[in-house]
Amino acid sequence: MKYFKNKIVESINDVLETEASIKDIEDSEGERGDFSFPAMKVASEKGGNPREIAEKLKEEIELGFLEKIEVAGPGFVNFFVKKDLFAEKIVETLSKERMGLKERKGKALVEFSSPNVAKPMHIGHFRNNVLGDSIQRMLDFVGYDVVSENYIGDWGTQYGKLVYAFKEYGSKEEFEKNPMEHLYNLYVEFHEKMETDDRLLEKGREWANKIENKEEEAFRLWKLFREVSIDYHKKDYHRMGIKFDRWTGESKILDETKEILEEGLQKGVIKKDPDGSLFVEFGEEMPATVLKKSDGTTLYLSRDMANLKKRKEDEDFDLNLYVVASEQDLHFKQLFNICDMMGIDIEGCEHISYGLLNLKEGSMSSRSGNIVRVSELIDKAVEKAKERIESVELKKNAEKIGIGALKYANLCVTKQKDIVFNWDDVLTFEGDSGPYLQYSNTRAKSIIKKTDSKGEFIGEFSDTEFSFLKKLSRFPEMIENAVDSREPAKIANYLSELCEIFNSFYHKCPVLKADEDTMKRRLKIVELFESVSSVGMGLLGIDCLEEM
Ligand code: ARG
């Protein structure tokens, strides 16, 4: 807990006249007390014998809030905080706004999901959605003024192809029945045909130009496809419990894109090829890239440049986070680089990159049409959850359990790592899973509900009780850590460990059957656990349940 770490650091610095920081104080367990300071570091920096420095600290630090100080090993100073004070501080800290964390000020844009028009979201998007959602929840928790944005892919030659395909071999009935599936089938069909028919690419371009020039039919169809896609995606988001503060898209930034390309040309950052296309070079570091084709069409990267500038200069975001898969690492490197070369302030811009999500039974390929849709993924998880739930009455929880399980399985892995889903692990009700978090949380709720008493710290803590409390006390720092590293996995893993401790605590230390004082003391711990786990699950976007 920061409160005690700060106090300890202050006393250390007073005695040694050093500038140790709170990071030098470690959380510790058992014989090593509650917090530990390795004097070895000071010794190597300032000279002296670590063991002697440790002894000096032990002699000279006033105990005050401490029960005792001990020296161990090559120079560890172990601090034991008075247990009742520790407990009192935890309660106070956890009930504060932001759990006592310093308020982060500033405007943060979290752009995530950003699927393309006319394609259902696939399982890769699922990972993106839960990661982005959790990051925006975490930033919001620590005080940022957060705007979540869905920047959809709604511009480019592919929509010319689609409009053409729809006109040539689309079906009105099919479209009306299931617009998204029909569009997606057309998209796949078109690309299959393109392999043997060169003419089609030309047709696609022609219709893309018509859209760009707002020609009636082309523009109307493009708009319709865009709208039905958004409606379709919204159903997925609704199930996932994800909301966006705003929807934008590549098509909303076209004028600014033209301007920024002009600006880049004038500044000499962007160069013109004899064929009229525009490109930029990055020297040795990265491959050069085209920003505007010879036929005048602008590209994905150029639209991102315009958008970055707008977010910075017009909207004044302090943080501009792009949650996008690692396949686009180079894209974002190029984006930040070129903006920097043009003198656009890129401070606060970050690409939040993450690895692949795959199913054990097979991967996906959007071109060949065998993608696993987000909706299918969720259906399957919910189906499996239903099978696991024994009580007929509680089967209604299957949606929340299935989705919670999927979310957890995505968030418990460090974002850079690839994930291969194994359904049995995802939906287990025991240990390291979404259902396990939900189960532990409901178990705590049911204990609390069974009594009219209120928890209260009376009497002495047993070791089991106290070490559970210590684990609870680390929650706020864990959030801070997760925010700084943009890493929900830290919270997910912490919660999983916490639940494990709760379950063993519960077996070792009966709550409601204990004598009055013990009951109240343990109940208080259970109450704290319930609130920490609810807040933690909230940060992951996992629903709490009343019963399970
Ligand atoms: N629509 C793009 C895709 O599906 C992702 C957009 C990511 N965001 C961005 N600002 N480039 O690949």
> Looking at residue 365, what is its pLDDT?
42
Count of residues in the chain: 548
Ligand 1 neighbour 151 (Cβ under 6 A):
yes
> Looking at residue 421, what is its pLDDT?
86
Q: Cα–Cα distances in Å, from 475 out to 282, 336, 462, 490, 504?
A: 44, 34, 21, 10, 19
Q: What are phi and psi of 101, to 5 degrees?
A: -70, 145
Report CA(160)–ligand 1 centroid distance (Å). 19
% residues pLDDT > 70 (the chain): 98
In a 3-state reduction of DSSP, which class is residue 19?
coil
> Looking at residue 362, what is its pLDDT?
66
Ligand 1 neighbour 493 (Cβ under 6 A):
no
Closest atom of ligand 1 to CA, residue 324: 7
> pLDDT tens for residues 145-201?
999 999 999 999 999 999 999 999 999 999 999 999 999 999 989 999 999 998 999
Q: What are phi and psi of 102, to 5 degrees?
A: -60, 140
Which mutation among 151, 311, 335, 371 tests ligand 1's pocket best, with the greatest number of atoms within 8 A of CB? 151
Identify the burial level of 503 via C-beta atoms within 10 angstroms of its C-beta, where 0-12 means exposed, 13-18 middle and 19 or more buried: middle
> pLDDT tens for residues 479-531?
999 999 999 999 999 999 999 999 999 999 999 999 999 999 999 999 999 99
> Looking at residue 363, what is its pLDDT?
56
Ligand 1 neighbour 153 (Cβ under 6 A):
yes
Q: In whole angstroms, give the CA distance from residue 120 to residue 118.
A: 7
Query: Where is average pLDDT lowest: 62-76, 286-300, 418-432?
Result: 418-432
Ligand 1 neighbour 116 (Cβ under 6 A):
yes
Ligand 1 neighbour 250 (Cβ under 6 A):
no
> Looking at residue 424, what is its pLDDT?
83
DSSP-derived letter for residue 298 is: B
Report CA(322)–ligand 1 centroid distance (Å). 9
When pLDDT is averaged across residues 401-415 and rounded to a whole number, the result is: 97
Q: How confident is residue 369, by pLDDT bands cut at 50, 70 and 90? A: low
| Mean predicted lDDT score pLDDT of the chain | 95
Q: What are phi and psi of 358, to 5 degrees?
A: -130, 155
When pLDDT is averaged across residues 522-546 and rounded to a whole number, the result is: 98
Q: In whole angstroms, give the CA distance from residue 287 to residue 26.
A: 45
Is the pLDDT assigned to residue 366 strictly greater than 80? no
> Looking at residue 140, what is its pLDDT?
98
Query: Where is average pLDDT lowest: 7-11, 377-381, 525-529?
Result: 377-381
% residues pLDDT > 90 (the chain): 91
Which tops the pLDDT comparison, 423 or 267? 267
Long-range contacts of 67-74 (CB under 8 A, 24+ apart): 70/33, 72/31, 72/32, 74/40, 74/50
Report CA(99)–ligand 1 centroid distance (Å). 35
Give residue 517's identity as a one-letter amino acid code: D
Q: In whole angstroms, give the CA distance from residue 319 to residue 145.
A: 10
Rg from Cα positions in the chain? 28
Is the pLDDT assigned to residue 367 strictly greater than 50? no
Report CA(102)–ligand 1 centroid distance (Å). 33
Report CA(41)–ligand 1 centroid distance (Å). 46
Q: In whole angstroms, give the CA distance from residue 353 to residue 197.
A: 37
Residue in the block written with tokens 């759990």: 99
Query: Where is average pLDDT lowest: 334-338, 344-348, 384-388, 489-493?
Result: 384-388
Report CA(119)–ligand 1 centroid distance (Å). 13
pTM: 0.95
Q: How confident is residue 232, by pLDDT bands cut at 50, 70 and 90? A: very high
* CA atoms within 13 A of residue 1's CA, in its CB half-sphere: 24
Q: In whole angstroms, give the CA distance from residue 332 to residue 211.
A: 27
Q: Hey, what domains does the chain have and what are their CATH numbers?
A: 2-81 (3.30.1360.70), 112-359 (3.40.50.620)
Contact 98, 390 (CB under 8 A): no
When pLDDT is averaged across residues 209-216 and rounded to a whole number, the result is: 95
Closest atom of ligand 1 to CA, residue 332: 11
> pLDDT tens for residues 439-485?
999 999 999 999 999 999 999 999 999 999 999 999 999 999 999 99
> Looking at residue 394, what is its pLDDT?
87
When pLDDT is averaged across residues 399-410 and rounded to a whole number, the result is: 97
| E strand or H helix that includes residue 508 | helix 488-508
Report CA(158)–ligand 1 centroid distance (Å). 14
When pLDDT is averaged across residues 404-418 and rounded to a whole number, the result is: 97
Q: How confident is residue 3, by pLDDT bands cut at 50, 70 and 90? A: very high
Ligand 1 neighbour 322 (Cβ under 6 A):
yes
Q: In whole angstroms, give the CA distance from residue 532 to residue 528.
A: 6
